[in-house]
Amino acid sequence: GDSVTQMEGPVTLSEEACLTINCTYTATGYPSLFWYVQYPGEGLQLLLKATKADDKGSNKGFEATYRKETTSFHLEKGSVQVSDSAVYFCALSDQGTGGFKTIFGAGTRLFVKA
Amino acid sequence: SAVISQKPSRDICQRGTSLTIQCQVDSQVTMMFWYRQQPGQSLTLIATANQGSEATYESGFVIDKFPISRPNLTFSTLTVSNMSPEDSSIYLCSVVLGRETQYFGPGTRLLVL
């Protein structure tokens, strides 16, 4: 079945450091790919998405490119801030014959130190 | 995007009691879901809330424990019945807009003593 694997955390960075959170997926169809962010004490917020191969999603300085050849959707940011401290979830969604489904990764906790 | 509200935002309950969580969306949506997020974990789908018919439950979740109502396209409730400490989690309502983009409510944080 479909699955999403993302790097284990926690990831601890200093402010202004570069961030990469790896995410790879397996899917039988042609899913859309997403990154969600969960700030402490809050629900999930959609951070960015890409719906087809080679699409790049971007938001708030974060980027991720849908790479079909490597089945990856790595999250990157050039300079993190303390306010980026949160849990990040990679996910895929597909509308197939079995209906709509979303598969979430395990989540990666990011701590950014001042 | 959709604006999704949930009530209550948090609660502390005694074991053996039940709690009903409400989810309100600011627009009509076809697909609505309920998730559970146990402490430090990812999201687990409980069920799809179907308007006008019984909810569709995922493996490991049953209607007697998690009854769901969906009276219209903007509102749903999830009840956590006969609670035990293992039910302590965040419960999240979610909707799908467009082709495959999912949006989440702020969650209900439940602690069962």
Strand B32-37 and strand A86-96: pairing?
unpaired
3-state secondary structure string across A42-71: CCEEEEEEECCCCCEEEECCEEEECECCCC
Q: Shortest CB distance from B104 goes to which of A32, A43, A99? A: A43
Residue B37 has pLDDT above 80, yes or no: yes
Tell if the CB–CB gap between B99 and A51 is shorter than 8 Å.
yes
Q: What's the confidence (pLDDT) of residue A28? A: 85
Q: How far is B70 from chain A (nearest CA, A)?
A: 18
From its phi and psi, is residue A38 left (phi > 0), alpha (psi between -120 and 50) or beta? beta
Which of B6, B24, B56, B102 is most worth mutating to test chain A (most A CB atoms within 10 A of its CB)? B102
Tokens describing residue B82: 């006969």
Query: Which residue ranges in chain A fall short of pLDDT 70?
Result: none
Supply the pLDDT for residue B70: 95
If pLDDT is split at 50, 70 and 90, which confidence band does B110 have?
very high
Residue B19 and residue B5 in contact, taking contact as beta carbons nearer than 8 Å: no
Whether residue B32 has pLDDT greater than 80: yes
Q: Provide the pLDDT for residue B99.
A: 75
Pairing of strands A108-113, A11-14: parallel
Mean pLDDT of chain B: 94
Residue B98's pLDDT is 79
Q: What is the sign, positive or negative, of the torsion defined by CA atoms of B89, B93, B97, B99?
A: positive
Q: Cα separation of B27 and B97, whole Å?
A: 10
- B46 has a pLDDT exceeding 90: yes
